[in-house]
A = this chain, B = another copy of it.
């Protein structure tokens, strides 16, 4: 739908004042939050628009007033979630050390609440099959996180970039394997193995 804002009104601000200035942005954010949680809990392919909109307190028809397509929603959800998590991680990593971050990442709690967790652990194999557009958006959003890890590493500085990348891969792979391990004891052992491995890469 196209609206000609200049046809009968000269003051766009006055027009928009019919709704609170941030009303639509708020709805947009609610949809994004529902989508982000559901995609992390259920994957991209198995989660639908109608369920996301219902979770946001809306009906499916309203979706396309906020996003151009499901693909756009996925991209925006991945980017905003990665960005938000990097920002909260930047705070945590300045308070505590890298070891705490590793233990938080490979915790039982993170394993058992994927809807609040790392998008990479939840969806990385799906992202690898997605469009170049999504892959580029994903990597661009991830890179500052890798840089943050790198900045906290000890040991040989010439290998820090590679060790940060490998550590992140190890965290993601360990969490995925722990989630794919039904036996609680074995799953815990996967997390412990990941923690020890990540520590040894930290230098």
* Least Cβ–Cβ distance between A137 and chain B, in angstroms: 10
Given contacts A176-B125, A176-B172, A180-B127, contact A193 B135 (CB under 8 A): no
A-B contact pairs, 23 of them (CB 8 A): A41-B129, A43-B129, A45-B45, A114-B128, A121-B125, A127-B180, A128-B176, A136-B182, A136-B183, A139-B181, A139-B182, A161-B193, A163-B196, A165-B174, A169-B170, A169-B174, A169-B176, A169-B193, A169-B197, A170-B170, A171-B173, A172-B177, A173-B176
* Least Cβ–Cβ distance between A136 and chain B, in angstroms: 5
Q: Does A98 contact B (CB under 8 A)?
A: no
* Least Cβ–Cβ distance between A98 and chain B, in angstroms: 15
Q: Does A166 contact B (CB under 8 A)?
A: yes
Q: Does A132 contact B (CB under 8 A)?
A: yes
Q: Which chain B residues border A167 with CB–CB below 8 Å?
A: 197
Q: Which chain B residues border A135 with CB–CB below 8 Å?
A: 180-182
Q: Which chain B residues border A73 with CB–CB below 8 Å?
A: none
* Least Cβ–Cβ distance between A163 and chain B, in angstroms: 7
Q: Does A35 contact B (CB under 8 A)?
A: no
Pick out which of these stretches binds chain B: A1-9, A18-26, A52-60, A184-192. A184-192
- For window 117-159 of A, CB contacts with B under 8 Å fall at 120-130, 132, 135-136, 138-139, 159
**Which among B159, B173, B196 is the interface contact of A173 at CB below 8 angstroms?**
B173
Q: Does A201 contact B (CB under 8 A)?
A: yes
**Which among B128, B172, B192 is the interface contact of A162 at CB below 8 angstroms?**
B192
